[in-house]
Amino acid sequence: MAMTTKATEFLTRKGIPFSVHAYEYAPDGGKIGLQAAQAIGENPEAVLKTLMVKVDRKQPVCVIIPSNHKLDLKALAALFGGRNARMIAPEEAQAMTGFQVGGISPFGQTEQAPVVIAEQAMKLDHIYVNAGDRGLVVKIAPADAQRAVDAKVDLISTG
C-alpha cells in the first residue's frame, strides 16, 4: 500500500501538518471506522468515517463523523436548505471522488463535494480521517482538517 495518495498530496500542497498511519483493512470486518479505531488503538470518537450523501437527490456532500456515531440525515439536509438526504451508491461515490469505497477521503476528491465535520470532533486534540486508500488514515488537528477543505461544522451525528 502506498503511503502517498491523492489525499496526502492534497494536504501537503495546502501546507497542512498530518501524519499517515496504516492498519490491516478487513473488507469483511463490518464497520470500517470502528475496525480502524481498534486496529490503530484509538478511541472510536477520534476515528472519523467518511460518508458521501446527496441532499434532495442533487447536492453531493462529504460528511465526516465519529466512527461510533450515526449520521442525522435530517439535520444534514437542513444544513443545506434541503428536505432530505440519502447515502450515495458506492459506484457513484467512487466515480465522484476518485477513491475506492473503504478508502474515500474528504481531501483531494476528483469532484470536491462540500465537507461537513461533526461538531463533536472539533473538541479533540487530533482526529483520524481516511487518507485515500483502504487501510490508511491521516492523523490531523480538527481545525486543520476544517481549513483544508473549508468544511462546515455542525451537529450532524449522534453517539
pLDDT, tens only, 64-120: 999 999 999 999 999 999 999 999 999 999 999 999 988 999 999 999 999 999 999
- For the whole model, what pTM was predicted? 0.93
State the DSSP H helix or E strand holding residue 40, giving kind and residue range, or none if neither: helix 32-40
pLDDT digits (tens, 9 = 90+) for 32-74: 677 888 888 999 999 999 999 999 989 999 999 999 999 999 9
- Please name each of the domains of the chain with its CATH number: 6-158 (3.90.960.10)
pLDDT score for 37: 85
pLDDT score for 81: 96
Please identify which residue in the block is written with the cell numbers 450532524.
156
Helix or strand or coil: residue 73? helix
pLDDT score for 28: 61
